[in-house]
Structure 1
Amino acid sequence: MVPGSEGPARAGGLVADVVFVIEGTANLGPYFEGLRKHYLLPAIEYFNGGPPAETDFGGDYGGTQYSLVVFNTVDCAPESYVQCHAPTSSAYEFVTWLDGIKFMGGGGESCSLIAEGLSTALQLFDDFKKMREQIGQTHRVCLLICNSPPYLLPAVESTTYSGCTTESLVQKIGERGIHFSIVSPRKLPALRLLFEKAAPPAMLEPLQPPTDVSQDPRHMVLVRGLVLPVGGSSASGPLQPKQSVPLPPAAPSGATLSAAPQQPQLGPPLLHPPPAQSWSAQLPPRAPLPVAQPKREREGPVFRKKWERDYFFVEVKSMPTCLICKKIMSVLKEYNLKRHYKSKHSQSFDQYTEETRDAILSELKKSLKCQ
């Protein structure tokens, strides 16, 4: 939490516009349940004034409005990069939207389309502003939940903010007085930079280190405009100075070991006691280390010969390439090749017999070699 940026304390009269922007890829899926429990549900309770219930409705214009934006990576083509839910005043319905997100794809990508998600969120805030003309200014919060840094690509699907980069979008968010927050299962410097660039212009003083509200030391939770429960690392308080362990009092100089009671000796004394057996001799022999495999064997997927006839794909420089449109797929998975063929070329080529398909495949290979 940035000091002085938490906004008004939650009260019954607080009217807020809240947009959650969530990465809908498999990169976030394994961590989402923990983030939902420790951060997202407490944030919803903060704006709702308590746990969500089915009877919670604030009206279309007078109460808090929630909206959800789910963005993906470039491997989701030809589907849309962003899915957006219309605003709702029911916190309970909003939670059901969160539970219905299907985290798929993105496993072969190191970045995500954050610019597409934020551009859609800004369009939602523009719509909120038109809805709220009768009640005036509201408390606006945009919460980004992701596990990937942004692409260095501008937004393309938004009609109003097309061409804007991720950094320019977060600057617009700060300039318009929208409180920007980030929740991530990893501490990513690129996301922290976005949080700093989204600081409101009124905060001219140097940014203070945000208070640690994460429940896991690996998480990165940077919030403005709302209050979350403080994490265990902050609640423990300052560290106490190390205390020296008192040593036992030294024995008097005249004292001897004979003063201690002696155990009766059983049997004759041993002239040569047996040597103590080392722990290393008792341990079983180590198993041989696994032989390092080539990178292609470790990764698993390899190009299959049957994909040439089934989907008209060949492997060019270790990359699957479509013989028909020359498209190169970045991720070697049969699902990606099949989806591309079904959506682009199946209507034209499924009608041919196997002999005709083999002839077409041979001609396409010859034309590729000529190029």
Structure 2
Amino acid sequence: MVLGPLDHSIQTDIIFVIEKTAMNTYISELKTNYVTPTLEYFNQGPIDEREYLSESSSAIYGIVVYEANDCKPFPCCRSYGTFTSPQKVIKIIEKIDMIGGMAESHAYMGEGLATALVFFEDLQEIREAKQRHCILICNSPPYNFPIMECETYAGRSVDQMANLFQEKGILLSILSARKTPALLKLFEKAGGDLQISQNKNYAKDPRHLVLLNGYSLKERPMSPTPATTHSGLSMTSPLSTNVNIGSPVAPCTPFRTTNPVLAMQNQVQQQQQQQQQQQQQHQQQQAVQAAQQAVAVAQ
């Protein structure tokens, strides 16, 4: 659901879960177009004018950063906060080195969401917030591994974490530089309404995926075909189809449909067969010519 302007008297907890891989190309644009406006929404005004807030601020912020498998043997998640100043959130995000990931096409999103859920539970011991928002900023789908590092939710899958968010009333929103079916499925499993997202466009760039639950940003003109993105990704519910939100460990369409080594071997074999056929044809022609010469000599 999308709500109207936030009542500043409502206590709100906001945790940003950020994928720390090679996102340097996108993070500046995501921060300018979506992260800063999100902070201004919850701050009820420009954040530059409210850099220093009291500890009694109605909004409390936190940050969880997660990485890909190349971070091993170090932990894949780190937490920052809590903060009452949205300007502090921006400064922390700007200091995060969006590098890494190597050749990994997935990341430890499940660990990041599990860490965020523990973060929310810790905040709940301090105060009972009326609203709790998790803002997922990512570029890669999640691994299909169960949660391992977060002991509280060890063994849970990404789908189960999304269901827990819905059960606990935590509103999950997603900001991504690209559209992937796995993120659509995650958003819906966490209680998001794709039908509303289909009818409202918050993305400045048509390649971006902006799925908001519980708050709104500046709406932008809809594309001519709102049900389908420029890349052909349907915005219909992925839960109605068999969408794999896991990693290459799970069944999924591989990037390469053939093995390049086998393809080269097959090509060499075909060339050898062609050479053998040419040699046989040449030998047959020589035999025919020899027979014709023998007949001519005999006559």
Q: Which residue matches 1:23? A: 19
Q: CA RMSD in A?
A: 2.4
Q: Which residue matches 1:197? A: 189
Q: Runs of 5+ in structure 2 lacking a partner?
A: 227-259, 262-299
Deviation track 1:192-216 (CA, whole Å, cap 9, x = no partner) reads 000010017xx8xx95453221001
Q: Which residue matches 2:150? A: 158
Q: Is the 8 A contact 2:66 2:78 kept in 1?
A: yes
Greater mean deviation of Cα atoms: 223-232 or 174-183:
223-232
Q: Is the 8 A contact 1:54 1:93 kept in 2?
A: no
Q: Take 2:218 and 2:74, find their aligned partners in 1: how far apart are those partners?
A: 38
Q: Runs of 5+ in structure 1 lacking a partner?
A: 239-294, 297-371
Deviation at 1:51, TM superposition (A): 1.6
Q: Is the 8 A contact 1:71 1:114 kept in 2?
A: yes
Q: Take 1:121 and 1:108, find their aligned partners in 2: how far apart are those partners?
A: 26
Q: Take 2:101 and 2:49, find their aligned partners in 1: how far apart are those partners?
A: 34
State whether structure 2 residue 220 is matched by structure 1 residue 224: no
Relative distance call for 1:225 and 1:209 in structure 2 (3 A) is: closer
Task: Please give the TM-score of this superposition, normalised by the length of structure 1.
Answer: 0.57
Task: Please give the TM-score of this superposition, normalised by the length of structure 2.
Answer: 0.70
Matches within 5 A, 1:246-265: none
Relative distance call for 1:194 and 1:168 in structure 2 (3 A) is: same
State whether structure 2 residue 132 is matched by structure 1 residue 140: yes
Equivalent position amino acid for 2:30 in 1: L
The structure whose residues are more often helix, as a share, is: 2
Q: Give the count of matched residue pairs.
A: 227
Q: Which residue matches 1:110? A: 105
Deviation track 1:168-189 (CA, whole Å, cap 9, x = no partner) reads 1011001111111111111100
Q: Which residue matches 1:39? A: 34
Deviation track 1:144-170 (CA, whole Å, cap 9, x = no partner) reads 111100000111111211111111101
Q: Is the 8 A contact 1:215 1:232 kept in 2?
A: no
Identity within the alignment, %: 35
Deviation at 1:231, TM superposition (A): 2.3
Equivalent position amino acid for 2:178 in 1: R
State whether structure 2 residue 125 is matched by structure 1 residue 130: yes
Q: Is the 8 A contact 2:5 2:41 kept in 1?
A: no
Matches within 5 A, 1:62-101: 62-101=57-96
Q: Is the 8 A contact 1:22 1:71 kept in 2?
A: yes
Which structure is richer in relative contact order (CA contacts within 8 A, separation 6 or more)? 2
Structure with max Cα Rg: 1
Deviation track 1:2-57 (CA, whole Å, cap 9, x = no partner) reads xxx1245223323210000010001x221111111110100000001112137544
